[in-house]
Every structure is written in structure tokens, then in C-alpha cells.
Amino acid sequence: EPEVTQTPSHQVTQMGQEVILRCVPISNHLYFYWYRQILGQKVEFLVSFYNNEISEKSEIFDDQFSVERPDGSNFTLKIRSTKLEDSAMYFCASTEDRLAGDTQYFGPGTRLTVL
Amino acid sequence: AQSVTQLGSHVSVSEGALVLLRCNYSSSVPPYLFWYVQYPNQGLQLLLKYTSAATLVKGINGFEAEFKKSETSFHLTKPSAHMSDAAEYFCAVSPPGSARQLTFGSGTQLTVLP
């Protein structure tokens, strides 16, 4: 069964460094998302991406964050200058289409630790 | 704005007992509702979803949920718990219309006792 994959599974970085989290959505999916889960807290929406542009973003997704689909398969989340509070599990998700109620398929996540 | 409340951050049941995980939503219009499960060190897996068809929704692994508009609830049930059901369960809501962001509840950790 097709699945969303994410790399790396765990990323450790120093505060102020740039990180890029990578996702490979399911191949025929068109709508992509990033969520994060700070330890012990809710899963929070960051951004959605469709047709090579941001469709929606939350208040969390400030100028330090950016997303890109650099080729036909990868979907990346870049954090320009990491802060301690960026430490979290980051989940990528994808849906086949923009249909209402379409299932979002999640990857296994990347655990980001900022020291 | 939508929100989801999951009552009980931890629920323990004996193997073979009924599982009931509670979820209440707040939305100005009937939303779409989802239950996801997260096993240790894994991503979120969809158990079932409500998208304005039948109010009783059956999902994978014997789980089901009933949408009750009058109670703004979407509780998850399973008649008989199995040890493999031990995981964290998340209720989520999204507004009707095109594919949109999910708003998650805080999650319920289910423990199944032998």
C-alpha cells in the first residue's frame, strides 16, 4: 500500500541553524500538509500546499518557515533559524484531491530536537 | 473557529471490555470528523471518518463512531478491546468544503489491561 515517507526520522540541530525536513507524499496525491506536535501537546496544523503554492497557513507558520516542492516527488519544510521551541515531531500528510472530507495520509514524522 | 475536546487523556480498559473514547466538537456548521490512531513511533493512521453520510460510521479494527449533532459528539467505540488496541487516539475536525486543515483534539492514551 502506498505511504507517505519522511526523512530523517530524527534531526538534532543547534539553535539558529537551518533545517530542512523532507517528505515524499503518495505519488498521485495533489494536496500536501505539514503538522507539528510538541511533546505532550496537540497536533497542530502548519501549512497546506496545492498547485505549487501555499493554500492555507496557521499563525505558527511565520517567516522562519517555508515549504517547497523542488521536484515531482519531494515536499520540504525549511526552518530558517531554529529556536528551542521548534523542537517537536513534524508530520507530513497528503490527500489525493481537494474533495471535501478527503482522507489525509500521514507520514511517520521527523523528530526535531533543537539544542 | 472549530475545536475538538477529548474527555480523558488516559483511559484504561480490560481486554475484552468495551472501549469508549469521547470526542465533542464545536463548529458553526456540521463539520467533517475523523478519528486517527497513533501507535508508538509511528505516524497517524485513519480509523474512520464522518462526511455527512450515515451517522454511524464503521472503521478499521472493529471501531465505530456515531455522529450526534444534538450532542455535538463523535464518540469512538469498540465492543471488545484487544491488547493491540493500546495506542493514542486523536479526534479531529475539518470544515466542510474543499480539503482543509485538520484541527486535532489533545488525544486519549488507551491502555488495555490483561
**B24: nearest Cα among B81, B103, B111:** B103
Asked if B43 lies within 8 A of A108 by C-beta distance, the reply is yes
Asked if B96 lies within 8 A of A48 by C-beta distance, the reply is no
Contacts of A91 in chain B (CB under 8 A): 43-44
How far B99 CA lies from chain A's nearest CA (Å)? 4
Give the burial class of B32: count Cβ atoms within 10 A of its Cβ; 0-12 exposed, 13-18 middle, 19 or more buried.
buried
CB within 8 Å of B9: residues ≥ 6 apart: B106, B107, B108, B109
β-pair partners for A28: none
How far is the C-alpha of B38 from the C-alpha of B44, rounded, in Å? 5
- Picking from A44, A56, A107, the nearest residue to B43 by CB comes out as A107
Asked if A35 lies within 8 A of B102 by C-beta distance, the reply is yes
Q: Which residues of chain A have pLDDT under 50?
A: none
Would you say the C-alpha torsion A21, A79, B107, A50 has a positive or negative sign? Answer: negative
- Picking from B41, B44, B105, the nearest residue to A42 by CB comes out as B105
Which DSSP symbol is given to B70? Answer: T
Residue B99 confidence (pLDDT): 53
For B99, nearest residue in chain A (alpha carbons): A98
Residue A20 confidence (pLDDT): 97
Residue A105 confidence (pLDDT): 92
- Picking from B34, B94, B99, the nearest residue to A31 by CB comes out as B99
The one-letter amino acid code at A109 reads G
How far is the C-alpha of B106 from the C-alpha of B8, rounded, in Å? 9
Residue of B90, B100, B108 best to disrupt the A interface, most CBs of A under 10 A: B100
Place of cell 507530513: A92
Asked if A99 lies within 8 A of B98 by C-beta distance, the reply is yes
Residue B95 confidence (pLDDT): 77
Asked if B40 is an interface residue toward chain A (Cβ–Cβ < 8 A), one would say no
Q: Which residues of chain B have pLDDT under 50?
A: none
